[in-house]
Amino acid sequence: MFITFEGIEGSGKSTQAKRLAGYFQQRGFGCVLTREPGATPIGAKIRSVLLDPDSRGLVPDAELLLYLADRVQHQQTLILPALARGEHVISDRYADATLVYQGYARGIDPSRILELHRSFCQGLDPNLTFLLDLPVEAGLERAIGALQQGDREQRESRFELEHLDFHRRVRSGYLMLAKTHPERFRIIDARPSPEDIHRIILSHIAL
């Protein structure tokens, strides 16, 4: 099974992806926990460009292509081999993030992004996507707090520095995607405690 976690900055998706991977591993299931961007050695170099505040001059098309390059490397060297071995793959962000951030928020035609996804990523979609949703202001407060406390790297804060309208477009884009693909998306209120959110997520997992 290929499971992804999506959401705005500060939604807690990384925490929940780790918790779900731990749940599978404790029960003896093969499971790979991964993320985008930066899950591979080459992807880590791409990530350092994409998330660096000094890369604020990156134009949307270049940003899109860097994310796509990271995904192609990620898919071919990590995701597809793990699925072929019969393991579960849990990814903190995947193609939906590109549709939302570079499409709905940056203004690139989503159909162009989907065409590239089909061409270079074999159109591989997750079996299940958890969208952790909460108000933009609450998510940014969490994300900026994590940066200030040293829980996250300052050199990976480029998106936290975007204006509020950008983040509102991101959230709106995610909710639109979830509405368009209800068979795959599960919208989870990201405001309760991590423990409560984990229990809700497990209620959607059938093993």
Which pLDDT does position 123 carry in this prediction? 83
For residue 98, being part of any structural domain is answered with yes
For residue 207, being part of any structural domain is answered with no
For residue 168, being part of any structural domain is answered with yes
- Give the separation between CA 33 and CA 18, rounded to whole angstroms: 7
Total Cβ atoms within 10 A of residue 10: 24
Residue with tokens 């204006």: 163
**β-pair type (2-7, 31-35):** unpaired
For residue 94, being part of any structural domain is answered with yes
CATH number of the domain where residue 162 is located? 3.40.50.300
- Give the separation between CA 68 and CA 189, rounded to whole angstroms: 29
Q: Across the beta sheet with 185-189, what order do the strands follow?
A: 31-35, 88-92, 2-7, 128-133, 185-189
Which pLDDT does position 144 carry in this prediction? 77
Which pLDDT does position 1 carry in this prediction? 93
For residue 108, being part of any structural domain is answered with yes
Helix/strand/coil (H, E, C) string of the chain? CEEEEEECCCCCHHHHHHHHHHHHHHCCCCEEEEECCCCCHHHHHHHHHHCCHHHCCCCHHHHHHHHHHHHHHHHHHHHHHHHHCCCEEEEECCHHHHHHHHHHHCCCCHHHHHHHHHHHCCCCCCCEEEEEECCHHHHHHHHHHHHHCCCCCHHHCCCCCCCHHHHHHHHHHHHHHHHHCCCCEEEEECCCCHHHHHHHHHCCCCC
Domain that holds residue 152: 2-202
Which pLDDT does position 142 carry in this prediction? 83
Q: What does each of the 207 residues of the chain score in pLDDT, given as a tens digit? A: 999 999 999 999 999 999 999 999 999 999 999 999 999 999 999 999 999 999 989 999 999 999 999 999 999 999 999 999 999 999 999 999 999 999 999 999 999 999 999 999 988 999 999 999 999 999 888 877 776 776 566 676 788 778 899 999 999 999 999 999 999 999 999 999 999 999 999 999 975
Count of domains in the chain?
1
For residue 122, being part of any structural domain is answered with yes
Kindly report the pTM of this predicted structure. 0.93
